[in-house]
Structure 1
Amino acid sequence: MNTNTENKVTEVNSESFAQIIEQTEGKILIQFHAPWCAPCKMLAPVVEQVAHQYNDIKVIKVNADDSPELAAKFGVRGLPTLLLMKAGELVASQVGAASVGQVQQFVQQ
C-alpha cells in the first residue's frame, strides 16, 4: 500500500481490498483502472483531487489487470469504473472518465 502522504489514493490488491472494506465504516470511493487505459489516466488526477477535498471518504484504486477477480465480483465491464461503497455495501457505480464536478456529485449521493 502507498504510504506517501501527498497521495491520498491508495493502490490496493485483492487481499488489502477486503481488509479496507471491513475496516472502513464510512464511504469508500473505488477506481478500477488499468495502466494501458487512456481514460483511466485522465480520471486519475480528478480522483486524486476529490480525495483531497473529502477527508471523510477513503479513496482506493484497483488495477483490473492485476485483480480480475475483484473486477468480476463487482461486474466491472469497462474502464475506468468508479464504485461507491458505504458500510461495506455497494451504493453506486459509474463507468467512464468524469470531471471533478461529476465525481463530486457521485460521492455526495
Structure 2
Amino acid sequence: MLAVLLLALLGLVYSENDNIVSFNDAMIAEAKSQISTGEWMLLFHADWCGPCQDAKPHFYKFASWAKDSRPDLHIASISHDGGGQLFGDFGVKYLPTILFVKDGQVRNLSDRRETLKDMFTNDEWKNVMPTAEMPSENKSETGKRIGNLSALKSLSSTQKTLALAALIGFFLLVSIIRSRATKAKIFKTK
C-alpha cells in the first residue's frame, strides 16, 4: 500500500503539469505566434527517446518552479510524433533539445537541463549566445519536409533500398543525358 502511494506521489511530481502547453503541427501558426511573444522554454522530445525520458523530470521540475517564481515564462512541450514541422522550423537536430526563446532570439539550453532553475534565478541564461532567430513563415516548407521524413520510419528496409536505388538511378540518368548533350554541342559548334 505504501509503495502504491509513493508511486502515485512520484507520478504527481513528474507528470506534465497544467502550466506546460503542448504544441503540434495542427496548431503551428498559433504556436509560432505565441512563441514569438514573451519568454518561452521549449522541450523538443520523442516518446521513443531514452535521453528524452531522462530529461523530462528535470524539465517538469523546472516548470513547477517557474509557475510560481517566474510566472511570465511560458513552458511548452513539443513531441516529435505530432510536431515534426516545428522540429524542422526550429532547426532541432538532436533529442532532447531545450530552447529558450525571448525577444525572437533562440538560445539552446539542452546541456544545462539539470541547472535550469539556477540559470534563471541568477540570470545566467543571458550569458548563452543566441543560436538563431525565431523561424519565419517561409521556413515552414522546410519544416514540413523535415517533419515528413518521420514517415520513412514506417518503410521496410526493402522499400528503403528500392527508393535509394531509384534515386541513384535517376541521378545517373540525368548525368548521362547532360554529358551526351554537352558532347553534342561540342560537335555542332565545330
TM-score by length of 2: 0.46
**Identity over aligned pairs, percent:** 25
Work out whether 1:86 is the aligned partner of 2:102: yes
Q: What's the counterpart of residue 9 of structure 2? A: none
Q: CA deviation at 1:47?
A: 1.1
Q: CA deviation at 1:53?
A: 1.5
Distance 2:83 2:77 in 1: 11
Aligned with 1:7: secondary structure? coil
TM-score by length of 1: 0.75
Q: Which structure's relative contact order is higher, taking Cα pairs within 8 Å and 6+ residues apart?
A: 1
Q: What's the counterpart of residue 69 of structure 1? A: 85
Matches within 5 A, 1:40-59: 40-54=52-66, 55-59=71-75
1:91 to 1:97, Cα distance in 2 relative to 1, 3 A = closer
Distance 2:39 2:86 in 1: 18
Q: What's the counterpart of residue 38 of structure 1? A: 50
Distance 2:41 2:60 in 1: 11
Count of paired positions? 102
Query: 38, 55, 64: which is aligned to 1:26?
Result: 38
Aligned with 1:98: secondary structure? helix
Distance 2:91 2:120 in 1: 18
Q: What's the counterpart of residue 10 of structure 1? A: 21
1:97 to 1:64, Cα distance in 2 relative to 1, 3 A = farther
Pairwise CA RMSD: 2.5
1:13 to 1:70, Cα distance in 2 relative to 1, 3 A = same
> Which amino acid counterpart does residue 12 of structure 1 have in structure 2?
F
Greater helix content: 2
Aligned with 2:62: secondary structure? helix
Q: CA deviation at 1:106?
A: 6.7
* Long gaps (5+) in structure 1: none
Distance 1:76 1:6 in 2: 24
Q: CA deviation at 1:45?
A: 1.6
Greater strand content: 1
Distance 2:111 2:48 in 1: 14
Question: Conserved in 2, the CA contact under 8 Å of 1:79 and 1:96?
Answer: no
